[in-house]
Structure 1
Amino acid sequence: MPQPFAHALAWLGSVLPLALLCSDVARAAEGAQLLNFYGYHDCIQLSNDSTEVILCPAAGGRVLSYALEGANILYLPRGDEGWVWDGSSARAPMHAGRFDIGPEQMVPRRPTLWQGKWTGEIVGDRAAVLRSQYDASTGVQLERRFELAADSSKLECTQTIINASPQDEERTVEYCHWSRTFVNGYGTCVLPVSRPSRFPQFYVRYDPPNNLINFQPNDRHIQLVDDHLIINARPLNPKLGFDSQQGWLAYLSRQ
């Protein structure tokens, strides 16, 4: 009898720490899990009672869904489900929440960062980190940390640009954050202005030919109301620049 009892105690002693470990892992992953979405099998879902965020490591480290009460605000059309880059093709149907680095037209082509395969890791409650491969053309690797609030729709996204170039190159790199997110259309943009502004109309517009910067744009779809620029329909030309230092802008959807 004593010997089996001793084995039982030893087994119990090994099970209890394992059970506690599993319990800790479960708590750390509250509101975060892997799931299949939009043809991808390794997406990461961050969620609370009202909000769902779905991240896509397989193609560009994008945000595929940012949904409040089940309504995804991001543009994600049918027909490109499960698309992954083959390493050579130029076509890249990169929709929804897309990130990049800039300045525009000054950075080398970087398909590895823009549309290549990333890795994803759940790192805590409603939190995950996506990491790109090293991109030789720019000398950097990108890391994106996402954290969804426990009781609101607030999603914090932090992109870190890592100089990962080989030491023997002694390469200095300097880039900035560049986000180009596609949302469902026909909504209203709201942007608070800063005074003084460098721009007479509080914004500039890129006009053809050759994207010349127009410092005196006139567009009936862009109005200044109580120190806020209101864009309530498609602008005459869609690319605009602002010098607001207020730290936020909003998009009011009609969906």
Structure 2
Amino acid sequence: MDAPWDPRGVPGTYRFLNRVWNVVQEFVEAATLPPLTEAVKCSRIADASAERSREISSGDLSEECTLEEDGDVVAELLRLTHLTIKKVTRDIEDEKFNTAVAAMMEMVNGLYKFKESHGIQATETWRFALESLLQILAPFAPHITEELWHELGYSDTIHVDHWPKWDEKYLVSDVMTIIVQVNGKLRAKLELPADTNKDAIEQAALADENVVKFTSNKPPKKVIYVPNKLVNIVV
């Protein structure tokens, strides 16, 4: 039996779609929006988008691409985008529609963080991220995604032959997040290089300022390490 209609979910859905609308509009209104033909020439990620079919309305995007992209921003935006494509694709196949929507909401949150820290630039990386978001959102919000698809300059429909593919090479991160617990309670999160070894991770955990407050600099009775995920300090 289907769950009864609950109007309390409407405001959250509206806010999410409004954020999608706004971030695409900000990209479209960027001062030097590159045409796709030139963007591919100057982009560092041409290989990530070369397979995408493009039918662009003439005259919409006329400026020559002269922007250079920050390598770190490119890497993180690509990782966020490809992770979301993979997650949503798999969730739809498994009929896990709620978690698919949650993944897209997380992606939008990530895009806004990039926007706040680096601004929206009219680069191929941002275009790829936003196009991919619209493509995976299209089955859930067909009307707004179709409108935004045309805002990006396309003359065809988003609903035919426009499902993005993820690339595993973009899913590997140079950084790992380590959860640090003291007696089983969360006390810190560490961002460390992905190749950091066990001893260095434990030392970083023990030296963390917030962790020191809860250990009182006492030698731990035990340090439990879950590779690349967690350090639990028992005092």
Q: Give the TM-score of the pair, scaled to structure 1.
A: 0.24
Greater RCO, CA 8 A, separation 6+? 2
- Larger % of strand: which? 1
Q: Give the TM-score of the pair, scaled to structure 2.
A: 0.26
